[in-house]
Every structure is written in C-alpha cells, then in structure tokens.
Amino acid sequence: MARLNAHPSGRHFLQIPGPTNVPDRILRAMDHPTIDHRGPEFQALAKRVLAGVRPIFQTRGPVVIYPSSGTGAWEAALVNTLSPGDAVLMVETGHFATLWKKLAERLGLQPEFIAGDWRHGVDAAQVEARLRADKGHALKAVCIVHNETSTGVTSDVAAVRRAIDAAAHPALLMVDTISSLGSIDYRHDAWGVDVTVAGSQKGLMLPPGLSFNAVSDKALAAAKGARLPRSYWGWDEMLSANANGWFPFTPATNLLYGLAEAIDMLMEEGLDAVFARHARHAEATRAAVRAWGLELLCLDEAGYSNSLTAVLMPAGHDADAFRATVLQHFNMSLGQGLTRLAGKVFRIGHLGDFNDLTLVGTLGGVEMGLALAGVPCRQGGVQAAMDVLRATATGAAAVRRAAE
C-alpha cells in the first residue's frame, strides 16, 4: 500500500512559463567551487559573459548584469534614466505591465497607462497618436512588455519604434523581454530600443537570480542628467568596473558560470534555430487547444506568443482546480491565472530547454487532466499537436543544419 505523501516517481514536469527547467549542462556548470571574485579566474569569467551575452540581445552595446529578479532590472531601467515627476507612457497588456506601472508610481514617476483588454498587444497607432499630442515632450519614456507572461500575447516592438519615430518624439523606448529573450526573436539595436530588461529564469534556462539591462548610447546620455536616487542599481559604477572584468559588489558567481554555459548552448544551436523551435512548439500547442475546443486568451494571431499559451477555461470551471488535478495525478505544474485572470485561465509554458517529446508529454498531461477534472472538451489535442510536429519536422531539421 502506498504511503500518504509518498514522493512521486519520475521527473516533475515544470511547465509554467518560468522559471523553466534547467538543463543538466547548466547545472553541472554551476556545480563549481566558489572562487575569489577579485581574482583572475573570475575576471576571465566576467569578461566572457559580458561579451557573450550581447549577441543574445542582438546588441553591440553594454549589458549590465545584476544579482536580482527581473523586477530589479525594471527599477534599474527607470532610476538610471529618469527624474522625479517625469511622465512615462505605458501600455496595459497584462499583469506584468501593470506591475511595472505600479513600480514607476512608487519611484515618484507619473505613468500614463493606455488601457487594454489583456487579450491584445500594444497598439502602435495609439502610441503614435499619444506622442503626437505631447507637443511639449513631457513624456520621457515609452515602456512596453514584449511578451506578456500573464496572457501569452507578444507585441511588435519594431512597430512601436516606428511610431515613436513617426511622431518625431525624443522619448526613450524601454522594453521588458523577461519571457521572450532567448525564445522569441528580439533585436535591441535594430529596433532602436534604449533599455532592454531581461531575467535569467526563462529563455536563458538558468535559475532565478540574474537580471539584465541592455543599454543604448541615448540611454547612457540620459543617465547623466537623471535625478532619481540610485546606488545599487547605478549603471555608472557597474560599467566602469565591468570594463576590466569586475563588479562593484559581490556578484552571483556560480550563476555566472551557468550563464556562460547557457550562452554557449544558445549559440551552438543558433538563435534562428532557437526561435524556430519555439515557434514550432507554440503552433503545435495552439493546434492542441483548438482540437480540445478550448479558447486561446490571445485574440490577435499576429500576437501569439511562442513562449507560452494561455487557455481560457469554459464557464463554470475553475482553472486552479484543474491545475491542482494535473499536479496531483501527473506531477506537472501549469501556470496559474494572475489577478484579473485568476481561476479563469491556465498557462502552458513551452520555452527554454524544451523538445518535441517534452511537449507531447506536457499536452498529454493536460488532456488527461481535463478529462479527470470534468472539463467539457473534445479529445484529440495531443494527436493534433503531433500532426503539426510531424509535418514540420523536416523544416526544423533544415533550420538546425543551417545553424551548424
């Protein structure tokens, strides 16, 4: 007879949209004795990761690395470039865009929120219209979320840059890529982004604990006159120390070993192949959802996320009760609905260290869990996903070969 609370057999399926599964190569890289962060071995490591991370952001400029969650990188982006009372334009695309707005308010900024329904991405035309109306250039920054982790909706960053340029507005462009970097094509330099915010625990395949600011020359110039208080988050001391392979405070040494390995893994696969892999798995997931007869939260096909899929529950059925059923029976964690979506959606993460069989196992757990929880739906979602994977297998192999 099985004892109560016995440890479940097999691996835990962590299929939330971050933190993601950490691959063995990265775990082994972090399993390293702590070293002197003022010694030559660390200096070599720091120079390696500070240079190696730039291609992931597709930038030639500096990338600042903090021992923090992504929230710290949000704060760093704001306090390094803005002054008390500055107005900033933000767009309500979901829970995390809302949290960034609240953080800006706490810092003494004046965020203006373009309202949204949490089912669409940023409307670049709305951004352009608001900036055109800002004749006095009171708005100092435009802050958007590239991939909204709470909703599975991606926004067109290049279109927002075109909107800012069309309005001939000098506002800085700041972009949260916490659940898109290393998973969805993102181009800091080519899209004219001034500050990119990122975290370690999603597409970079690391545990939580590192955050990033990729910084443009325009943002560095703004930092010289910015008057919000900053100490720990200050770019100036960080960049000065980084130039010689050092940090102005104790860095997260073992996470940096993991970061070096993650960079190697992404570059070995090739960024184009990484992005194509994520797109393929996302399309297969959406095929499964449609086959089940369930509804995607995202209403804009152009905004479908390749990192995660948010699924609406049928009326009268609780998403958290379904998630609890899946966890109990299959030892799999799915993402919950946040704030206004609590109990209404579940989120399937398909990013990071992820392959076809991981996806099939994940969707199998969802399909069985829907039946066990009594959620009205059709069967055949897993088969629909496998049909997509099989039909696209040749193309995926070609992309991988091209990256070699």
In sequence order, the β-bridge partners of residue 334 are 15
- Other Cβ atoms less than 10 A from the Cβ of 10: the count is 8
247: tokens are: 């940090």
Rounded to the nearest 10 degrees, what angle do helices 217-225 and 235-242 cross at? 130
Token pair of 149 as six digits: 């982790």
Rounded Cα–Cα distance for residues 358 and 277 (Å): 13
Nearest of 57, 58, 35, 56 to residue 45 by alpha carbon: 35
Q: Is 3 annotated for ligand binding?
A: no
Neighbours of 8 (CB within 10 A): 12
* Contact in structure between 385 and 357 (CB atoms under 8 Å): no
Residue 17 DSSP class? S
The per-residue DSSP string of 351-380 comes to -SS--HHHHHHHHHHHHHHHHHTT----S-
Give every CB contact of residue 58 below 8 A, 6+ residues apart in sequence. 186, 187, 188, 189, 190, 271
Cα torsion 218, 149, 278, 361 to 10°: value is 160
**252 touches 356 (CB < 8 A):** no
Instruction: Give binding residues for substrate as ranges.
Output: 347
Instruction: Give binding residues as ranges.
Output: 347
